[in-house]
Structure 1
């Protein structure tokens, strides 16, 4: 089996230590690839290549229109290889092939969006209050960017970082999750094919405690962008202080989904499922906290449970599969412990709460869609991010109570409100402390709108124009057009 290699300074190489890692399919634990397992030495080599390419290379000074053309080419190559990329993503993560195809469309869209808007970030003339002067603001690339991506949406999250970094003239070192590197390796093949110069985009495979740590602490790295767990994010934030790196952190969420009694009932039930059970709940914005108005609570739960029982679990490559496995045995154990904690805390388990009994699923990391009722915000299952196919249900009686429940969290990534009263909806979302709030929708995003969270869900924004600005420094240039002696002394 051909080893998936790293890409450093325009060359495909093995790890310096000679180590490799076996990549498995979470559906049945079969080996699907062998990947290089780099460490600190590989990270340092990649950083040195990126540093040289930024300080001595042409990429930062290449006209934005030329960089945009190359980024647009990457989008076209993604569309060309969409089916191969989707299959790799489903093999690597276990998600359904249909979900992976949607991801690839979105990923191509991200590259295309940033190729189209980069000229809108060229700068501006500002009115100077000083006579005989010209004043302007320009935006320049940050420098060398360290980028660390998660296992749940490997290539989607990579695209959110790669596209804006490249189009604004930065150089970069990317570290994907060591357990889901396959589509990231493929995208670097496309980056090379598109004509990105050697040293500009570098890929290092390996674990976070070596490769990720080096990216965070190395003083030659100017920016660190991380998507992942909150505890790791805190460590990266501390490590990055060594040279006061720019930081972009997306650290997950525990997202409320409020359903008022006047909501469209069937639609709200359907979307409450969609909000959680795509990709087995392994979504940072999953609406795992379902907050239901008391008057419709029992009917809503009854309808939801009946629907949940019919979710088809299985191989992501089977057309009738609606939900695949969890990513690993380690993560499956974490989800099981989370459910046991919910039982001990007094929540009522109404469906799921165990592994499936189907013999065909025993080799995979499957867990049944699960619903807990009688939940309160003092329970760990309401506060902690499970990252699995689990819904916790809380009740409310008043609008104020619903908003207070929704905000009772250390996280603030996303949330939803379901009601036919638009004035009430607007009142609620204006008080909800989250980076994205949907009205009569959940888990919708597009490249044009910024993505990120309040509170401990992170720092900064990806996507949208703000996602472009994360990868630039702002410089004010003042020009005195008629300099004269001041004669102060």
Structure 2
């Protein structure tokens, strides 16, 4: 892989179209900033509508090319498996790219890069398992069956918090099915997507099967989501941006698959092991500096243990180390963007104005070595109420609000009292109670006595303002294929041409 941290630093990198890097039509490049210092470290191309049109044309040409269109399902699976192998071979370099680009912990990025190949392997095995159906009909001498086919060109708009992991969840099944793709990574973390494009060619995929256009949302993203050559869109990001993309896509009747914002509840009942539950809450909201869609940022604790739980949570939060993401003992690195840091500060300030109490954190670290970066301490706000702004809106930072509850009915109302429905967690030893929670909670994922536990074999996604469509498991294969019905009449009878044949 050529696009390593060493070769990328201080350089310019173009758009990846038709199997090679090309300069943007405008000649414009934009700096990407290192969150640990706030300084630029490389420049990416600012694509415009002409660049997007070229990428879509490349993807459409690859879709029609017999080298891809006529490739057997088994051979497509072999290519997908080879791509996973290359990700594993280059895991350390890819991890360092993402660490430098978005500030995520190097140890977490390494773990992600070692896990991502398993997802490619899983969907590689699915490539020749996507089957149609033979349908029994009330007509003699008729064969009626369904075929599963590729959708066409899929447009993917990828977030900055875990670019390759989020990309893999839809790229692997799309390629296994036989689609081609145009990827627009976030302008805040494009390096790893561009590096992956190189590996796609090395794996043996025909040029044009995967294209990467970089740039901002207002120009590049807008052009991509309005292009009539896209068959379906994938988007992960904010609800507001998701609405904009859906509106643009509707103009071309293109469907979307969206994973949007979240304001996920974690519910703690009084029968739990408090230390274990505290560990789960810490994992759910402070890992990745809270920059995950499923962050369990609303914590509801049964009143008999509320004070003890808060005391334990605050003590555990004070032991979290904020530091440089490449240091092995760091627990939380910087936020990915300067604007995100300002947003987190604003939410904490609004919470205290509305009556919440800062029990831990609530400020930037005092360590002078971190002063240039976009760091923020893990923050616990107690005396929280659902109607407070920081409890209603997605923060995307290391902030949790903690509130007590008295009854199970009250807990359900609190947990469901949000516009979002992406994920949820419950901590209890009572299996009956846990199953009642799973049935009544309005969320696409329910974790019981665990949190932030991902598996590429299971379908996941949101409801309400957290989006629609599912990723993972065999369900995603249906998302990115289309059904075609075929009817064969093998009788010798002559039909009345003016009467529909119902029997």
Interval of TM-score (by shorter of Structure 1 and Structure 2): over 0.9
TM, length-normalised to structure 1: 0.98
CA RMSD of aligned residues (A): 1.2
**Structure 2 counterpart of 1:99, from 108, 112, 121:** 108
CA deviation string 1:426-479 (max 9, x = no partner) = 011101111110110101011100121011100101111111211111112122
Q: Is the 8 A contact 2:301 2:405 kept in 1?
A: yes
**Cα distance in structure 2, aligned partners of 1:129 and 1:397:** 59
Q: Is the 8 A contact 1:450 1:462 kept in 2?
A: yes
Q: Is the 8 A contact 2:182 2:212 kept in 1?
A: yes
Q: Is the 8 A contact 1:435 1:454 kept in 2?
A: yes
- What residue number does 1:257 align with? 266
Task: Map 1:145-184 onto structure 2 (within 5 A).
Answer: 145-184=154-193
Question: What's the CA shift for 1:487?
Answer: 3.3
- What residue number does 1:136 align with? 145
- What residue number does 2:293 align with? 284
SS at the partner of 2:353?
helix
**Cα distance in structure 1, aligned partners of 2:362 and 2:263:** 19
Task: Show structure 1 runs of 4+ deviating over 6 A.
Answer: none
**Cα distance in structure 2, aligned partners of 1:166 and 1:319:** 35
**Structure 2 counterpart of 1:219, from 209, 220, 228:** 228
Q: Is the 8 A contact 2:321 2:332 kept in 1?
A: yes
Task: Map 1:60-209 onto structure 2 (within 5 A).
Answer: 60-209=69-218
CA deviation string 1:336-391 (max 9, x = no partner) = 11111111111122111111111011010000110111111111111100000000
Is the alpha carbon distance of 1:11 and 1:44 closer, same or farther for their aligned partners in structure 2, counting shifts above 3 Å?
same
Question: Where do 5+ consecutive residues of structure 2 fail to align?
Answer: 1-9, 499-503
- What residue number does 1:445 align with? 454
Residue 355, structure 1, aligned to residue 330, structure 2: no
Is the alpha carbon distance of 1:366 and 1:474 closer, same or farther for their aligned partners in structure 2, counting shifts above 3 Å?
same
**Cα distance in structure 2, aligned partners of 1:53 and 1:164:** 17
| Aligned residue pairs, count | 489
CA deviation string 1:372-411 (max 9, x = no partner) = 1111111111110000000011211111211111111111
SS at the partner of 1:121?
coil
Q: Is the 8 A contact 1:160 1:463 kept in 2?
A: yes
Q: Is the 8 A contact 2:335 2:341 kept in 1?
A: yes
TM, length-normalised to structure 2: 0.95
**Structure 2 counterpart of 1:231, from 216, 223, 240:** 240
**Cα distance in structure 1, aligned partners of 2:76 and 2:129:** 14
Q: Is the 8 A contact 2:423 2:462 kept in 1?
A: yes
**Cα distance in structure 1, aligned partners of 2:76 and 2:109:** 27
**Cα distance in structure 2, aligned partners of 1:445 and 1:105:** 14
- What residue number does 1:297 align with? 306
- What residue number does 2:373 align with? 364
Question: Where do 5+ consecutive residues of structure 1 fail to align?
Answer: none
**Cα distance in structure 2, aligned partners of 1:432 and 1:105:** 33
**Cα distance in structure 1, aligned partners of 2:385 and 2:367:** 33
CA deviation string 1:130-173 (max 9, x = no partner) = 22222222111111111000011111111112111111111110
**Cα distance in structure 2, aligned partners of 1:249 and 1:60:** 27
- What residue number does 2:5 align with? none
SS at the partner of 1:427?
helix
**Cα distance in structure 1, aligned partners of 2:105 and 2:418:** 31
CA deviation string 1:92-137 (max 9, x = no partner) = 1111111001111222122111101222212222323322222222
CA deviation string 1:291-331 (max 9, x = no partner) = 11011000000011011011111111111111100011111
- What residue number does 2:4 align with? none
Question: What's the CA shift for 1:245?
Answer: 0.2
Question: What's the CA shift for 1:39?
Answer: 1.7
